Amino acid sequence: MKAIWSKIPQSALVLFDQLIVSGSNFLLAIAVTQALGLEAFGRYSLWWMVVLFALSLSQALITKPLLSLAPRQTEADYPRGVFQLQVVFGTALGCLLLVLLRLAIQLGYWEGDWATTLIVSLLAVLHPLYDFCRKYHFLRSDFWLPLLLDATYAILLFGSLGLQYFWGQLSVAVFLQTLLVIHLLVLLVGIGRTNLWRTWEAQRWRACWRQHFDYAKWLVGTALLQWWSGNYFLLAAAALLGPVALGAIRMVQNLMGLLHVLFLAMENLIPLRAAQQYEREGLPALKKYLAAITRKLGGLTALLLALIAIFAEPLLGFLYGTEQSSYHEVVLGCCLIYVFVFLTHPLRYALRTLGDTRPIFWAYVWGSGFSLLTAYPLVRTWSLYGVLLGLLCTQVAALLVYLFFLWKRKFFYESYSLGTR
């Protein structure tokens, strides 16, 4: 039996693991909305945005550099140092978020009690640590353990959700407490299967901090801008329109998450193939490959978006409850947004293949600036449609930035020049 399991390709294990993670997130939004309603789902989404903010910073500063730097390291203790850095950085960030959340509550910008605030701050420490644990085992080519951990996580998550609903004890606060316990349980197994925690030296994590910060300082800035440009309109919706509006937007985004499977496949495959085409045959081959893949996957994306748009009302009613089908017009707006989301992908792949990622950073700068300046008037004037208009404009702005930088360097009609600034 063991020999049979060992013959399963590693790529299949990684794909199955990603299906478990993505499928769990998709089903969780449906379950919470069905069980607690749109307002409660909006409140949960607002709290979870704090955790995702911590995750984005942690990935930029710790896990992404780990995956890039680890193969070049000669120090055997490097992974242990990175683990210690994750614990120290995560704890410091969690404490900072706890202080900021309490301050926001005191000033009237946020709603929540002490217990929920503390639980979310702890999740902001543990969820990035769990992400580190998964990536570390992938790095060691131990693909089975992350798969088992994620499957256990999903079983515990939905099992506890069902029991709490059956007993009539389910609420946002109780569910967040359950998430905290589940994180602790899977981390005990995931970290316990390593020797990373056995010895602790401040000198080790400080050395990793200097190395990672030098490598990732621009990644951290990009992560902050990316989170801001993608979530500021959602925060504005929660502040100006209430948790029901935020829940509606997040519900529709969850439905559109069906397209993220395609985008994830693109991210895993196209950059590698594009780099191979460029190395073997130069710029003309790269442009030909990206044009062909844009046509093929563009047709598939258009078909999926058309199906979602046509069946938006029954899909919302079937998945999230009949009372949510009234938000089908929001789905139509998101379908338009995702047209531009798709179009930005091949342009980003071109820039990354050519080693010119500065336009990606500037696209997030423009998107963040636009969000900061326009979120309040757009949401105040047009409510949910203002949120959709703002999100659409940030995607169009990113597309225009990529096109401008590529046009400036004569990518579309002559040989690409990195020297043109």
DSSP string for 83-130: HHHHHHHHHHHHHHHHHHHHHHHHTTSS---HHHHHHHHHHHHHHHHH
Sequence-ordered list of residues with C-beta below 8 angstroms from that of 285, at least 6 positions apart, any chain:
277, 278
User: Domain check: are 63 and 19 in the same one?
Assistant: yes
270 plus 319 within the same structural domain: yes
Q: Of the candidates 229, 249, 276, which is a domain's last residue?
A: 229
Same domain, 122 and 32: yes
Q: Distance between CA atoms of 257 and 254, rounded to whole angstroms? A: 5
State whether 58 and 158 are in the same domain.
yes
User: What was the pLDDT predicted at 278?
Assistant: 87
SS3 200: coil
Question: Residue 248: which of 46, 23, 4 has the closest Cα?
Answer: 46
Domains of the chain: total? 2
Closest CA to 344 of 421, 414, 405, 387: 405
Q: Domain limits at 298?
A: 257-408
Same domain, 179 and 279: no
Examine the domain organization and report whether 145 and 196 are in the same domain. Answer: yes
Q: In sequence order, which ranges of 242-282 are alpha helices (DSSP H)? A: 243-256, 258-281
Residue at which a domain ends, from 209, 229, 249: 229
Instruction: Return the closest-CA partner of residue 39 out of 329, 331, 245, 236.
Output: 245
- The pLDDT of residue 421 is 39
Is the residue at 181 inside a domain? yes
Tokens coding 360: 């990606």
Same domain, 172 and 283: no
Note whether residue 417 is domain-resident. Answer: no
Say if 78 falls within a structural domain: yes
Backbone dihedral angles phi then psi of residue 115, each to the nearest 5 degrees:
-60, -45
- Asked, for residue 19, whether it belongs to a domain, the answer is yes
> Could you tell me if 261 and 225 lie in one domain?
no
- Does 420 map to a domain? no
- pLDDT tens for the chain, 421 residues long, are 344 445 666 667 777 887 888 889 999 999 999 999 999 999 999 999 999 999 999 988 998 888 777 766 656 678 888 889 999 999 999 999 999 999 999 998 898 999 999 999 999 999 999 999 988 888 777 778 888 999 999 999 999 999 999 998 999 999 999 999 999 999 998 888 887 777 777 777 888 888 888 877 777 888 888 898 889 999 999 999 999 999 999 999 999 988 887 887 787 678 878 888 888 888 889 899 999 999 999 999 999 999 999 999 999 999 999 999 999 999 999 999 999 999 999 999 898 888 787 888 899 999 999 999 999 999 999 999 999 999 999 999 999 999 999 988 778 765 555 544 3
pTM attached to this predicted model: 0.88
- Domain co-membership, 263 together with 314: yes
CA gap 178, 321 in Å, rounded: 24
Count of C-beta atoms within a 10 Å radius of residue 59: 21
The residues, any chain, with a CB within 8 Å of residue 403's CB and separated by 6 or more, are 347
Among candidate residues 229, 247, 277, the one where a domain is terminated: 229
418 within a domain of the structure (yes/no): no
- Tell me how far apart the alpha carbons of residues 293 and 265 are, in angstroms, rounded to a whole number: 12
Q: Is 289 a domain residue?
A: yes
Half-sphere exposure of 401 (CA within 13 A, CB side): 22
- pLDDT for the residue numbered 241: 94
Give the pLDDT of residue 76: 62
Query: Quick check: is 413 in a domain?
Result: no
Q: Are residues 279 and 213 in the same domain?
A: no
- Claim to verify: residue 42 and residue 138 sit in the same structural domain: yes
| Whether residues 74 and 142 fall in one domain | yes
